[in-house]
């Protein structure tokens, strides 16, 4: 009876561990290409929270009632740039960063100390009674030390991304700034590449062709990765990851 309970407990632990590792879903998807996620309202996704940022005091702009020009418009007719919740604009992501850092530090020091007690109030002849007979008053203390340190460090980094992604305005802040978010999923053979971007932009930074550069996005969050057979091979197995976390050495 006790042995049966032990087996059932072990089986339950194994099933819970598989569920926690999302292993059931992975097993059911063996041999199938990764499926893109559904298109849905970003504000209904789990964990979504509206952005709240410090706002400057609102400005009082008087609008001429008889003016033919729209305030902030760049054309005679209605401005076609994205400006309201649900509007779409194109984000241009062009990152080409390089960093090279090399440091070298060297330190060297040599010390030498010598002391004698050839005349110590006439007591130098009695030192042999206190100290070993091999002691010599003329070289009572003779010490030397040498220290040498050599440290080198090198950092090399290179990143290059050239992408375009359509993003949607999901929130208009009280000061007129826009919160955007865009998701792009591309299936390549048995791998799914995912590009996600979000942040805060100014309406005046949107160009006439309804595009904006990534370096004009405040609080920018750019994620580029994927999942699938190739990505799975590049990741360590669950046991290896757990072993690395638990092992203190």
What confidence tens digit (pLDDT) does each residue in 67-111 have? 665 555 555 666 678 888 889 999 999 888 777 888 888 888 887
Backbone angles phi, psi at 25, to 5 degrees: -65, -40
Q: How confident is residue 53, by pLDDT bands cut at 50, 70 and 90?
A: confident
pLDDT band at 249 (very low <50, low <70, confident <90, very high): low
State the pLDDT confidence band at 15, using cuts at 50, 70 and 90: low
Mean pLDDT computed over 167-191: 90
- Residue 187: predicted pLDDT: 86
Of 182, 197, 194, the residue nearest 228 (C-alpha): 194
d(CA 175, CA 182): 22
Which residues, at least 6 apart from 140, have a Cβ–Cβ distance to it below 8 Å? 115, 116, 117, 127
Chain mean pLDDT for the chain: 77
pTM > 0.95: no
179, HSE (Cβ side, Cα atoms, 13 Å): 14
Mean pLDDT of 9-34: 63
103-157 confidence digits (pLDDT tens): 888 888 887 777 776 666 666 666 666 665 656 666 666 777 887 877 787 877 7
């Amino acid at each position: 009876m006790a042995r049966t309970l032990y087996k059932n407990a072990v089986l339950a632990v194994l099933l819970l561990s598989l569920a926690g590792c999302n292993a059931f879903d992975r097993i059911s998807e063996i041999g199938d290409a990764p499926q893109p996620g559904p298109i849905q309202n970003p504000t209904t996704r789990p964990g979504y929270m509206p952005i709240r940022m410090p706002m400057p005091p609102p400005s009082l702009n008087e609008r001429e009632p008889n003016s033919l020009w729209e305030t902030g418009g760049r054309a005679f007719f209605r401005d076609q740039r994205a400006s309201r919740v649900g509007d779409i604009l194109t984000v241009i992501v062009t990152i080409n960063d390089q960093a090279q850092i090399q440091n070298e530090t060297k330190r060297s020091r040599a010390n030498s100390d010598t002391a004698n007690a050839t005349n110590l109030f006439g007591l130098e002849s009695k030192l042999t009674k206190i100290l070993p007979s091999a002691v010599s008053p003329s070289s009572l203390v003779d010490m030397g030390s040498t220290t040498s340190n050599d440290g080198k460090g090198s950092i090399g980094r290179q990143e290059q991304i050239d992408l375009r992604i359509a993003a949607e305005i999901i929130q208009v802040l009280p000061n007129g700034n826009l919160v955007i978010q865009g998701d792009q999923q591309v299936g390549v053979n048995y791998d799914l590449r995912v590009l996600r971007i979000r942040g805060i932009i100014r309406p005046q930074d949107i160009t006439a062709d309804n595009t904006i550069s990534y370096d004009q996005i405040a609080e920018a969050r750019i994620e580029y990765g994927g999942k699938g057979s190739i990505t799975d091979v590049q990741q360590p197995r669950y046991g290896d990851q757990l072993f690395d976390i638990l092992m203190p050495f």
